[in-house]
Structure 1
């Protein structure tokens, strides 16, 4: 009991000081962890960020509430009232993290209510303290910090509101030949030869075409279907722009991106930095004046508790350091460069036309460039994504928006109509993904064994086949990556798939596969291949029709999952069938499978909800979001003059 009494006494005398220091520490932790969060996809890191994010607000609100109902802000602890504005400052948060999840943006009205309540609490604390009634320099220092705290907290609420609403208008200019040349990019597709130093040019283009991801992820900016000039950007260049824009959209949803580079945000930064510096100077002059008027005791410093004075200096100096850090990040961010370029373009146009382009306007965003994913995407997948996105007109029923492998299969005579239509059109999306994943694994294991056997038997002409072998190896890598990625989405992130997809089929398939008890994955692949051959042989003898066999069975029925597994093995065996490989086409079966997976990827990406795309940005961008953005850019593309 004595230990409890000691802790109770320590909390009574120093609990508030400890909580104020904890509030400041959490701000520093959030500032650091928010940057790691953008670059590292880690569940442990997200747990720490979430804990700091939630605890930071809770701590500041608790301390303000405690101050407003106690009278410990007078006498020796008079400086405690001076801390109230700093708690408002802490509630304002940092530029690099305003929301932890996309849902926080939708709750901006709740944060507005909290702003009103906490400002009232801080005002009451100051009203009841001797600071406001005194004529010392501490009064203006406190008032200045109170104003700064309100501005910073209001900025956060406004940023949440902007991130949670649709864009109000079209603020970004088209890319034409003259601006492409100004960026250091070729003005025609035939001249394109990307260089490493073009990175800044692509980033500027990503900024200026940001309306495409804004409309895709937040909703249309107007009733008009405005098209943008991406016709000068082709191939992997367009992929690079789309990937950069995912990082920029992370800033829009989860930071003060839409506020920092507005005139309001600029004014807040100037006022907060100068105000905090002025408050530090006034506070220091106040202590110096106190020191000349009285002789402090051994335990007191200028009439105040030494601990309180130290904490006050920590809060002031810490606030200045954080404000300077925020200002430097804003100045040296890519958004500042884009903002200045936009202004320069507007001035040039004003001089030429005598008026501003109606689509011109400031770029009100902030952020730093980061990669959209933690796993490198093979170059072949990027090429296929762009090619497939440009493949057909939007009005065609075989457009990439409307299919999930149909066009690729139709390119091989007899493959779609006679054999594999059921694997695409006559099953649910999640069933189709699992069927094609099983079939792809079976084919890849068979193909690797075939390649090893041919390498052993090769005695001549090896040099001439090296180029083709390298090409097949790249295609194999792309096929395996796409197949595993789509299965990962089905198993771990089914919310990224269009409704009503679920992971139930994956769970039941895994359970069914464990019943085979294979010793190695290769043994399992061989076992499934033999099973597929038997089923195909049996079907050919009985004349069974694939589509009726697949479509029967309820989604909750175990026989349904067994049929899906069987169809995957049948499809894998058919992919290996020589008659489809020797059908007179130059396209290798591996390339065909890759095209099927790319079409499925684009189908899923374009039909994934905007909410799911935006939600996933908090944990890192997804390849299907890049695919959806690519198709959005190409949909908006205007013909070249």
Structure 2
């Protein structure tokens, strides 16, 4: 039995490999682009049944496996070809010739698909390794081909044609990887050196004039721009809904400029003014559409062949057209050739390979033509107007403009929930000892929620308010250094709560997270009261910000400041614990660990009343986790925090648990009117929400562009969207060129 299976495998091995190689290429072409929309995490749960749970985990693991296997299978298949030839040569006189004809197909598959060249940004840095593999594998395939004693006849021409396409495709992949590497990207985006006015010649004329007995004076007129005049000439620009076509074309104009941020290059005041001028008249939904289009294009540059096929005018569709013609010609030549002496199964499989190659080329050409990038390029050059409109209409039907171009999800992580449920037991000690504790925690305690429309609108409104309050060029960078201070000062509460935002950044996040979580569950019992207050006291929105869709109107009404604050609070803690590389340097994880340890010691030991309440759950429909958390919140809020906990506990432990409780108490006290027992919840949550927005924007501006780029292939990150939006609104430390050339004049008089 074993001998028969071995013979069967020896007979089918190369055939199985070639079918597997083609299948992997089809799989990669079909699903690789979905990485922009599916959350990637080492392990992730979700509160709703969507792609962003176990299915997302399976998707990314399958893609990772297919990406690695695609190269491995093609390489192994090339190594098996000589053995397959020797095995079959004594039995079938010409079948081994057909098997050797498959060699260029493996090179073609090593060239990969247009939708994926790199699994992560780090893969682009390995382009030199792929170049070496290209040279070695092509040399090996040609050697096998020439040493197979292939007769002059039907297979020589189609083999030569397929070799030309295969080598071109593989070389194009290496080229794409090289162009997408960070060093190459940075080099390609650096502007031409600007020496400025000829200072030496100017001063020589000045000196010569003085030595000649003339009076020479220098008059300098500094170039004026928006940053100097904005406070003197305030102008309110009405917001208008833009056509989707206009948004796409404008994104095409901005993208070559703002993609520099991903390699930490600087921008000029002219770039800022042009972007601000356009964004001032945008509604928030159109602004986010433009940002998402640009980020999706950046993904294509980093992880697909977009850095090549879209970077050079007409290169993409011309090259795809040529390769399609060659592969189609190869199929036709093989079809009319004499197949006598070839095995029937091998002949059929060759047709499958050729048909697959032609189909993949057609699909690649279709994807490129239906890209928004292609449409914008055609529109800018005023060529193929009818064709561009036709392609754009198909593209919008296949993918609606309202559909997000990233996952539009934000992760959630709760300190109190973690402290309640992370109890010590034997199996947790085991997974900790083998190094899987962090992975398990990420799976068990991380959830994902949709990014609310109200949250996006609030961030956009707050950023535009900052932009309108800018007085000079230095204000642009100064506003990004605020992490709650400006919001508290504007609302008139800095004196009361300034201490909480002047602490270290990771400490501020934990303080406001604890206070937000406590107050969120404290208001759960007063939810109906809060809803009534929200309806009566909610700030009136400008008419141009109202949505035309009645369903969206209703949805925004439901998105209270309380829910938005809770989402941002949990998201910021997730970034602090799970994505610390995207946050400013600090001791956030140490502080989080100490705080969780103190919380566990305080809230995990339950009293008899709490135990009896939890036992009742077995006979009811209540959720055990919610009851435990409600009890924990109640006990924490009962702690007297009149005296500063930091003075009592000292500095050895970095726990901020009861300082967070103190902040919650102060917020309740400050917003409770005289003579009433309940605070003005709606007013309090509006303050908390704007503080969280400022903290979110501060974190976004401090994250390196390379770390933002890293998240594009993992479903995207809200922090990246906010960062790119801030740059378009003119805020950030990337604006270093604040003035143009000085207009110096040499005035000479007797």
TM over 0.5, shorter chain: yes
SS class of match (1:520): helix
Post-superposition CA distance 1:585-606 (Å, at most 9, x none):
9992211111111111111111
Superposed counterparts of 1:14-413, under 5 Å: 14-41=12-39, 42-67=56-81, 71-72=85-86, 75=93, 76-131=95-150, 134-164=151-181, 165-166=184-185, 168-169=188-189, 190-194=237-241, 198-220=243-265, 226-227=271-272, 229-230=274-275, 231-234=277-280, 235-236=283-284, 237-261=286-310, 262=312, 263-287=314-338, 290=339, 302-344=340-382, 370-375=404-409, 376-390=450-464, 391=466, 393=470, 395-396=474-475, 399-413=478-492
> In the alignment, what sits opposite 1:440?
516
Q: CA deviation at 1:157?
A: 1.1
Q: CA deviation at 1:143?
A: 0.3
Q: 1:398 to 1:412 in 2, by over 3 A?
A: farther
Q: 1:385 to 1:150 in 2, by over 3 A?
A: same
> In the alignment, what sits opposite 1:568?
660
Contact 1:170 1:221 in 2 (8 A): no
Contact 2:671 2:684 in 1 (8 A): no
Post-superposition CA distance 1:79-109 (Å, at most 9, x none):
1111111111111111111111111111111
Q: CA deviation at 1:445?
A: 2.6
> In the alignment, what sits opposite 1:535?
641
SS class of match (1:193): coil
Q: Which of 10, 14, 17 lines up with 2:8 in the alignment?
A: 10
Post-superposition CA distance 1:591-628 (Å, at most 9, x none):
11111111111111111122211111111111111111
Q: 1:225 to 1:98 in 2, by over 3 A?
A: farther
> In the alignment, what sits opposite 1:635?
730
Q: 1:452 to 1:91 in 2, by over 3 A?
A: same
Q: Provide the alpha-carbon RMSD of the alignment.
A: 3.5
> What TM-score, normalized to structure 2?
0.68
Q: CA deviation at 1:451?
A: 4.8
Q: CA deviation at 1:50?
A: 0.1
Q: Distance in 2 between matches of 1:334 and 1:15?
A: 43
Q: CA deviation at 1:63?
A: 1.4
Q: 1:211 to 1:389 in 2, by over 3 A?
A: farther
Q: Does 1:499 align with 2:577?
A: no
Contact 2:483 2:695 in 1 (8 A): yes
Contact 1:163 1:253 in 2 (8 A): yes
Moved more, 624-633 or 572-581: 572-581
Moved more, 369-378 or 20-29: 369-378
Q: CA deviation at 1:190?
A: 4.3
SS class of match (1:535): coil
Contact 1:81 1:125 in 2 (8 A): yes
Post-superposition CA distance 1:226-251 (Å, at most 9, x none):
44622122341323311332222221
Post-superposition CA distance 1:307-352 (Å, at most 9, x none):
22121111000111111111111111211111101222999xxxxx
Q: Distance in 2 between matches of 1:138 and 1:130?
A: 12
Q: 1:463 to 1:317 in 2, by over 3 A?
A: closer
Post-superposition CA distance 1:420-463 (Å, at most 9, x none):
33322222x222212111101122233343454688xx9xx999
The structure, 1 or 2, with the larger RCO (C-alpha pairs under 8 Å, 6+ apart) is 2
Q: Distance in 2 between matches of 1:68 and 1:503?
A: 56
Q: Does 1:609 align with 2:700?
A: no
Q: Does 1:416 align with 2:494?
A: yes
Q: Distance in 2 between matches of 1:273 and 1:190?
A: 50
Structure 2: runs of 5+ lacking an equivalent: 40-55, 192-234, 386-397, 410-449, 541-553, 607-626, 675-679, 739-750
Contact 1:214 1:249 in 2 (8 A): yes
Contact 2:263 2:705 in 1 (8 A): yes
Q: CA deviation at 1:264?
A: 3.7
Q: Which of 598, 623, 631 lines up with 2:718 in the alignment?
A: 623
Q: CA deviation at 1:494?
A: 2.2
SS class of match (2:101): helix
Q: 1:222 to 1:436 in 2, by over 3 A?
A: closer
Contact 1:148 1:271 in 2 (8 A): no
Contact 1:472 1:590 in 2 (8 A): no
> What TM-score, normalized to structure 1?
0.79
Q: CA deviation at 1:282?
A: 1.1
Moved more, 274-283 or 257-266: 257-266
Structure 1: runs of 5+ lacking an equivalent: 172-187, 291-301, 348-366
User: How many residues in Structure 1 have an aligned counterpart in Structure 2?
Assistant: 560
> In the alignment, what sits opposite 2:220?
none
Q: Distance in 1 between matches of 2:112 and 2:23?
A: 12
Q: CA deviation at 1:28?
A: 1.1
Post-superposition CA distance 1:185-222 (Å, at most 9, x none):
xxx97453326xx2232222222211344111134389
SS class of match (1:444): helix
Q: Distance in 2 between matches of 1:596 and 1:446?
A: 19
Q: Distance in 2 between matches of 1:150 and 1:30?
A: 20
Q: Does 1:525 align with 2:633?
A: yes
Q: 1:448 to 1:491 in 2, by over 3 A?
A: same
Q: 1:223 to 1:106 in 2, by over 3 A?
A: farther
Q: Distance in 1 between matches of 2:702 and 2:58?
A: 30
> In the alignment, what sits opposite 2:194?
none
SS class of match (2:279): coil
Contact 2:84 2:96 in 1 (8 A): no
